[in-house]
A and B are shown apart, each in its own frame.
Chain A
Amino acid sequence: MSLLLALCTAVLFSFGTYLVLQRRLSRIVIGVGLLGHGANLMLMLAAGDRGRPAFIGSEGDFTDPLPQALALTAIVITFGVTIFLLALAYRSWVVTHDDEVEDDVEDRLIASRLDADRSDEGTRP
């Protein structure tokens, strides 16, 4: 396994994790993209040592073609879902002029009710 590619995977995963934790959907999209690349790179690494020829012909010591097939499938899926996420971000921008992921409305309602209860107790002698 190539050390450089392993390091690449680590960097992609760490940057992706950081970006996914942001509140803006545009950053989350990029974060998800990076994480997806990291996972796909890891699948490719599973094919074994570098330097072996691709799976063409019938003789010799080939690199394992299965991880490449898996990675290809995964790339297509990640691509499609990322496009959907972008469409969602655009729709969010059209509706609210913002792409920030908001808190749950109902949760905020219950939290504010709790606060109100607490301030009631505070005013009671």
Chain B
Amino acid sequence: MNSLIALPVALPLIGAATCILLGRSRSAQRFVSIATLTAVTAIAIWMVVDVDRTGTKVTQAGGWPAPIGITLVADRFAAMMLAVSAIVLLMVLVYAVGQRDAEGHHVGFHPVYLVLSAGVASSFLTGDLFNLFVSFEVMLTASYVLITLGGTKAQIRAGMTYVVISLLASTLFLTALAITYMATGTVNMADLSGRIADLPEGLRTALGLLLIVVFGIKAALFPLYFWLPDSYPTAPSPVTAVFAGLLTKVGVYAIIRSQTLLIPEADRAGTVLLVVAALTMLVGVFGAISQNDVKRVLSFHIVSQIGYMIMGLGLFTVAGLAGALLYIIHHIIVKTTLFLTAGLIEHTGRTGRLARIGGIARRLPVLAGLFLLPALSLAGIPPFSGFVAKLALVSAGLDAGQYTVVAISLVVSLFTLFSMTKIWAGAFWGDSHGDNGQDLIVEGRLGTPRVMTLATGVLAVLSIGIAIASGPLYRFSERAADDLLNPARYVMEVLGR
């Protein structure tokens, strides 16, 4: 049964190959990719339940034993991340099929999207540092193609920045891997866990710093976030949504995994992480306030929200990490919903510029509701999922005595609410007729976006579900955090000693 955990990686790759073969028929492609991602979602949810009940699952690819072969590990943290990502990937795919913009115009959309899914799944499941590099590359290469799929001038310009910065991060990662192997003779994460502590202090610091910089670029931490608000908004809406929800969170996952598993307890840079977290939150939210385009406001918010997750990690307590995990779950779903809504706004008004849209609330109340729900959730208004996640983080911060960062996180919440009201006032309130009397709402440009609204709606309902099920979810997160802070268990499961 343990080898089943390879399926979330293998299935999308098989699906991608099938989709290339079915290139002529778009409906066959749709069927294959939706069926594949549904299966992955089912497996991932089963994994969460099973891992929580019976403990971490490990499989060795090709039957090579642990320190030499490629190890796949599904512990509580990885399984949960995988399940949430699978749901989001499936819903965004449904949305893309409904929109038919990027999806309909290009043969390559389905295969590349499935490869991206395989890369994301593999990043979460891998127990091998080099395989993490390969998974990142699979995911990123697919994302390079998706972000430049349209081939327009704006996409090429944004794509260049994105590709070059990601390539640079990958090269640094490779350098870090070379140093790791030179110093320890292994790249298996469980094996590394014990050996890094024996290295001389200077080397440990250099390795730790390199890893934080590499994953920090991917996660868009301050001061390595410049590429994100620049490149994300130009891509087609479903692509931006899935990038916003998942790609940076894969970086955050790698930071949390490497900081808890690889870096020895004495070397944990809690204070540095908390300072970085506070600056990331502040810079992100101030950037969001200064923007005038729906997608750009939301893109800066990703940066700001990453700060909260790193804050939970920086505390290095069970409560802090549990809060971070709950926050990641909430954020992936809510952020994706917001970007999908931004896509719907662009669909109805032809643009995301706040000056050129207005009055959506009166004409399309459903869309307004779909925006309001995740927007309030993101700002942390009770009783939505953002409130629960932020409450967990704030109380963890207070318990750890980190009052400054808690205060900053609360102030940032207020600013988040402020920038959300900016979108609300610009796009939803006001007159739906422009200065010259032309209608700002162009309904039914590509038919009624019923499928798009449905996909967005499912995710919005899911975010309410998180708030309702926050009790069990938080207890699950606590168990996952407890695992993370006791790396000996992970090592035991993988190496059997």
A77 touching B137 in the complex, CB below 8 Å, given contacts A88-B159, A92-B160, A107-B230: yes
**Which residues of A have CB within 8 Å of B168?**
20, 32, 35
Of B7-15, B175-183, B198-206, B436-444, the one contacting chain A is B175-183
Q: Contact check, B157 vs A106: say whether CB atoms are below 8 A apart.
A: no
8 Å CB contacts to A: which residues of B162-186?
Answer: 163-164, 167-168, 170-171, 174-175, 177-179, 181-182, 185
- Nearest residue (CB) in A for B131 is A73
CB proximity of B346 to chain A, nearest CB, Å: 15
Contact of A96 with B134 at beta-carbon distance under 8 Å, contacts A80-B141, A101-B160 already known: no
Q: Write out the residue numbers on chain B whose beta carbons fall within 8 Å of the beta carbon of A46.
A: 178, 181-182
Chain B: minimal CB distance from A96 (Å): 6
Main SS of the interface on chain B? helix
Which of the candidate stretches B30-38, B148-156, B421-429 sits at the interface with the other chain? B148-156
Neighbouring B residues of A92 by C-beta, 8 Å: 156-157, 160
A102 located at the interface, meaning its Cβ lies under 8 Å from any Cβ of chain B in the complex: yes
Contacts of A42 in B (CB 8 A): 174-175, 178-179, 182
Chain A contacts of B137 at CB under 8 A? 77, 81
A37 to chain B, nearest CB (A): 10
* Nearest chain A residue, comparing its CB with the CB of B165: A20
Interface-central residue, A32, A91, A104, by most chain B CB under 10 Å: A104
For the complex, what is the distance from the CA of A53 to the CA of B154, rounded to whole Å?
52
Assess the B171–A28 pair: CB atoms within 8 A.
no
Task: Report which of B159, B174, B230 forms a contact with A39, defined as CB distance below 8 A.
Answer: B174
What sequence of 0s and 1s flags, for each residue 278-315 of chain B, a beta carbon within 8 Å of any chain A beta carbon?
Answer: 00000000000011010010000000000000000000
A74 in contact (CB, < 8 A)? yes
**Given A70-B177, A91-B156, A106-B296, A81 and B141 touching (CB < 8 A)?**
yes
Q: Is the CB of A40 within 8 A of B160?
A: no
Verify A36–B171 contact, CB threshold 8 A. Answer: yes
Question: Which residues, 48 to 91 on A, are CB-close (under 8 Å) to B?
Answer: 64, 66-67, 70, 73-74, 77-78, 80-81, 84-85, 88, 91
A88-B160, A102-B157 given; A81·B175 CB < 8 A: no
Q: Is B130 an interface residue (CB 8 A)?
A: yes
CB-based contact A45/B182 at 8 Å? yes
> Does chain A have a CB within 8 A of B144?
yes
The reply on B187 being an interface residue by CB < 8 A is: yes
Asked if B161 CB lies within 8 Å of chain A CBs, one says yes
Cα A84 to Cα B145 in complex, Å, equals 9
For B157, the chain A residues whose CB sits under 8 A away are 92, 101-102, 105
Q: Does A43 contact B (CB under 8 A)?
A: yes
Contact with A along B228-240 (1 / 0, CB 8 A): 0010010000000
Q: Are A105 and B154 in contact (CB under 8 A)?
A: yes
Chain A stretch 20-37: residues in CB contact (< 8 A) with chain B? 20, 25, 28, 32, 35-36
Instruction: Let me know if B167 and A74 touch, CB within 8 A.
Output: no
Across-interface contacts of B153 in A (CB, < 8 A) = 95-96
Instruction: Kindly list chain A residues whose C-beta atoms are within 8 Å of the C-beta of B154.
Output: 105
Q: Let me know if A110 is at the binding interface, CB within 8 A.
A: yes
B211-235 CB contact bits vs A (8 Å, 1 = yes)? 0000000000000000000100100
Which B residues touch A25, using CB under 8 A? 160, 164
Contact of A32 among B164, B185, B187, B293 (CB under 8 A): B164
Interface residues of A (CB under 8 A from B): 20, 25, 28, 32, 35-36, 38-40, 42-43, 45-46, 64, 66-67, 70, 73-74, 77-78, 80-81, 84-85, 88, 91-92, 95-96, 101-102, 104-107, 110
**Hey, which bits of chain B sit against chain A, CB under 8 A?**
68, 130, 133-134, 137, 141, 144-145, 148, 151-154, 156-157, 159-161, 163-164, 167-168, 170-171, 174-175, 177-179, 181-182, 185, 187, 230, 233, 290-291, 293, 296
Question: What 9 A-B pairs come out closest when comparing CB atoms?
Answer: A42-B178, A39-B174, A46-B182, A46-B181, A43-B178, A35-B171, A104-B230, A39-B175, A77-B137
Q: List 8 A-B contacts (CB under 8 A).
A: A39-B174, A39-B178, A43-B174, A66-B181, A67-B181, A70-B177, A74-B133, A81-B144
